[in-house]
Amino acid sequence: MKYLDIIVENSIANICLKRSPINAFSIDFLNEIIIALKEVNENKNVLAVMISSSIPNIFCAGLDLDILIDKPILEVRKFLELLYIKLWDTQYNMSKPTIAVIDGAARGGGMTLAISCDIVIASDKTSFGYPEIDLGLLPAIHFNHLPKIVGRYRAFDLLFSGRKFDADEALSMGLINKKVPQENLLDEATKLATTFTNKSPTAIKLGRAAFMRTNDLDYRRGVANAVEDFCNVAMTPDAQEGLKAFLEKRKPNWK
């Protein structure tokens, strides 16, 4: 594939993202991620899956902003349905544990990809953030899962301040499972994945499906609403100004 590599070793598949310079989501990139997840899910030799990045200091920066600027709403909605619905459906229906291996910046849609995994492990050099509000956009997708993970008040702070935060804060909020030194990240993630490969594949498959049904029953409906909310805001003059200001490295002139 053009934007990622799939490395399978010892029953563990590592889907390694490599869309330079910042792993920003385009339609082609998202399609490759979905295809890769389905491919490893169907591979009987794979018992656990990791999602990582080969770009130094970057996990995923979220959406490719060019897709949102001066585009018709139907085109924007198609892109968001791919990211928020089709990608999530694919992750939801995985029959194997998935581990997000984060080293560097994880922002916006990159947070969605990570949090939709079963386990999140991060290096001590990782930083997180939900910058949509600074662009005049609405971080609507995160309304569905973030309050359930970190609590309502912390979620509001993160989503509406747009501030960056480090792995220590993410760990304290329960947003990640573990923080490890950068040089040990892949080894620690592999050790964690190995614990799953030693379990009964049938028990893992049926157990994970039951776990997802129990914990994410209403998530799908909320995601569909989030697509509409995001589209409605993305078409506003403030959102278009915020996006252009960011790309032009200037302050936005809010109306």
pLDDT > 90? residue 48: yes
pLDDT > 80? residue 216: no
Residues 55-67 have a mean pLDDT of 93
Segments forming the whole domain that contains residue 68: 4-197
Query: What local confidence, expressed as pLDDT, does residue 18 receive?
Result: 98
Q: pLDDT tens digits for 129-178?
A: 999 999 999 888 888 889 999 999 999 999 999 999 999 999 999 999 99
Residues 63-84 have a mean pLDDT of 86
pLDDT > 70? residue 220: no
71 in a structural domain: yes
Q: Whole-prediction pTM value?
A: 0.93
211 in a structural domain: no
Q: How many domains does the chain have?
A: 1
Q: What is the DSSP code string of the chain?
A: --SEEEEEETTEEEEEE--TTT--B-HHHHHHHHHHHHHHHH-TT--EEEEEESSTTEEE--B-GGGTTT--HHHHHHHHIIIIIIHHHHHHT-SS-EEEEE-SEEETHHHHHHHTSSEEEEETT-EEE-GGGGGT---TTHHHHHHHHH-HHHHHHHHHH--EEEHHHHHHHTSSSEEE-GGGHHHHHHHHHHHHHTS-HHHHHHHHHHHHHHHSTTHHHHHHHHHHHHHHHHTSHHHHHHHHHHHTTS-----
pLDDT > 90? residue 226: no
41 in a structural domain: yes
218 in a structural domain: no
210 in a structural domain: no
- Domain with residue 160: its CATH number is 3.90.226.10
Query: Between residues 202 and 228, which one has the greater pLDDT?
Result: 202
